[in-house]
């Protein structure tokens, strides 16, 4: 790495319209110059979840202003940029196309290199926005759409160790929150409700406990929690059930991660052992502390991004782009928007555990 990169990042793959400017220096140090986010919660809340058409239209309406805000806060001009990085998938393709097309237009107009970033690679580098975490590391990527364990060996070099066979953990939080009558997005609301609840008041299934491998499963928990919710009539009961659900999710995440840690440690003998948890669910305090305990027991360092970089943001996309540009990697202006785009394509094709559809594994 010989030069400084100042990259504009754009993120529009779900219900957040985000733009950010990140500087990556030749010595590897990172500075987030700005990170602007426009959330669409209010527009989707009446429907209890994200409506793809509403999301795409909202991205079109706000991306101009949000990008202008990010550039202004960063105090840079388009002439100062060394590249543009836009999420190119996986995600809701209507939204992905908005940010990617916007990024392509800037790249073309300003003669800048474009990086078409995998959203998951953005989450994978998100902890590096605020801490010096060298490659390689073990990553638990846990969000609304994804739940996987990855050995991250370097820029764009991820190997999948495990993945959910049904729902993602964030999806489980959101769906169970809905059955408890909580508003969208359910994860943060469920965490709040669980405060002061007694997690031992309910018994919930322990999926995959003791089972080989590092895969996850949350659909049984979702069904069991929905059934238990039907019999809950008091506020205290709702608090207790929320606490039990949160504990069950945290416990499964840490049990499966513990297995991945054992496998990863065996493969990286003598090297520093680092563990990172990223994605929206990493914002959950119980999940964080349970994983931190597991990491400490196994001799791994523990890192999680600051809360602002756990959920979707463009700073992580800008950094993923900058790391690629520093290695001389960029993409052509006809780079496609990809609704499905596994980080570890080989593993996903061989063992498509998550949402395998006509078009192949989502992640
Ligand atoms: O990373 P993210 O913003 O979007 C995806 O790429 O999916 O993750 C959003 C997910 C949602 O399911 C949301 O409910 C969950 O992360 N989430 C939480 C918390 N904050 C966000 N889940 C549990 N506790 C939280 N505090
Ligand atoms: Zn995400």
Rounded to a whole number of angstroms, the distance between the first and last alpha carbons of the chain is: 30
Nearest to 253 by CA among 308, 296, 290: 290
- Residue 299 falls in which region: left (phi positive, over 0), alpha (psi -120 to 50) or beta: left
Q: Chain-wide mean pLDDT for the chain?
A: 93
Residues with CB under 5 A from ligand 2 (ion): 143, 312
88 with 118: CB under 8 angstroms? yes
Please tell me the least confidently modeled range out of 100-109, 177-186, 339-348: 339-348
pLDDT of the residue at 136: 97
Contact 107, 101 (CB under 8 A): no
User: How far is ligand 2, taken at its centre, from the CA of residue 279, in Å?
Assistant: 6
* 54 pLDDT above the threshold of 60: yes
Query: Which band of pLDDT confidence, cut at 50, 70 and 90, is reported for residue 39?
Result: confident
Alpha-helical segments (H) within the chain: 41-44, 52-74, 93-110, 119-125, 169-179, 186-194, 219-230, 235-267, 285-297, 307-310, 315-326, 345-350
- Indicate the pLDDT class of residue 356, thresholds 50, 70 and 90: very low
Percent of the chain at pLDDT above 90? 84
- Ligand nearest the Cα of residue 182 is 1
Considering only residues 361 and 79, tell me which one the structure prediction assigns the higher pLDDT. Answer: 79
- Interval between CA 311 and ligand 2 midpoint (Å): 6
Going across the sheet that includes 83-89, the strands are 30-39, 16-24, 5-11, 83-89, 114-118
CB proximity list for 124: less than 8 A, separation 6 or greater: 139, 141, 150, 152, 158, 278, 320, 343
CA-nearest residue for atom 23, ligand 1, is: 187
Mean of pLDDT values over 266-286: 97
For residue 59, pLDDT over 80 is answered with yes
How far away, in angstroms, is 279 Cα from ligand 1 center? 7
> Is 145 near ligand 1, meaning CB less than 6 Å away?
yes
Query: What is the band of 89 on the pLDDT scale with cuts at 50, 70, 90?
Result: very high
Give the pLDDT confidence of 201-241 residue by residue, as tens digits.
999 988 877 788 999 999 999 999 999 999 999 999 999 99
Contact 178, 230 (CB under 8 A): no
- Residue 358 pLDDT grade (very low, low, confident, very high; cuts 50, 70, 90): very low
């Amino acid at each position: 790495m010989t030069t400084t990169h100042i990259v504009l990042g754009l993120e529009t793959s779900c219900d957040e319209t985000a733009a950010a400017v990140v500087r990556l220096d030749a010595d590897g140090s990172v500075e987030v110059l700005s990170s602007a986010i426009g959330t669409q919660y209010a527009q989707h809340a009446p429907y209890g979840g994200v409506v793809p058409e509403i999301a795409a239209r909202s991205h079109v309406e706000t991306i101009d202003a949000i990008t202008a805000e990010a550039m202004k806060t960063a105090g840079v001009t388009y002439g100062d940029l060394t590249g543009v990085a836009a999420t190119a998938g996986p995600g809701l393709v209507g939204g992905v196309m908005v940010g990617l097309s916007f990024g392509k237009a800037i790249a073309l107009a300003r003669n800048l290199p474009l990086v078409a970033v995998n959203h998951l690679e953005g989450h994978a580098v998100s902890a590096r926005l605020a801490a010096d975490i060298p490659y390689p590391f073990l990553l638990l990527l846990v969000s609304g759409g994804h739940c996987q364990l990855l050995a991250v060996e370097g820029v764009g070099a991820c190997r999948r160790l495990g993945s959910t066979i049904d729902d993602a953990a964030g999806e489980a939080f959101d769906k169970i929150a809905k059955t408890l009558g909580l508003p969208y997005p359910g994860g943060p609301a469920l965490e709040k409700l669980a405060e002061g609840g007694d997690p031992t008041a309910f018994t919930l299934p322990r999926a995959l406990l003791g089972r080989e491998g590092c895969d996850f499963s949350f659909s049984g928990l979702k069904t069991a929690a929905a059934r238990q919710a039907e019999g809950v009539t008091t506020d205290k009961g709702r608090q207790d059930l929320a606490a039990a659900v949160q504990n069950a999710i945290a416990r499964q995440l840490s049990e499966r991660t513990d297995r991945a840690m054992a496998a990863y440690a065996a493969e990286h003998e003598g090297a520093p052992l680092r563990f990172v948890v990223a994605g929206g669910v990493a914002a959950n305090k119980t999940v964080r502390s349970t994983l931190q305990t597991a990491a400490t027991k196994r001799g791994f360092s523990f890192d999680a991004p600051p809360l602002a970089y756990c959920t979707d943001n463009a700073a992580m996309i800008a950094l993923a782009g900058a790391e690629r540009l520093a290695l001389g990697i960029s993409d052509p202006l006809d780079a496609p928007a990809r609704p499905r785009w596994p980080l570890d394509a080989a593993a996903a094709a061989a063992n498509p555990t998550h949402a395998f559809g006509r078009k192949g594994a989502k992640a």
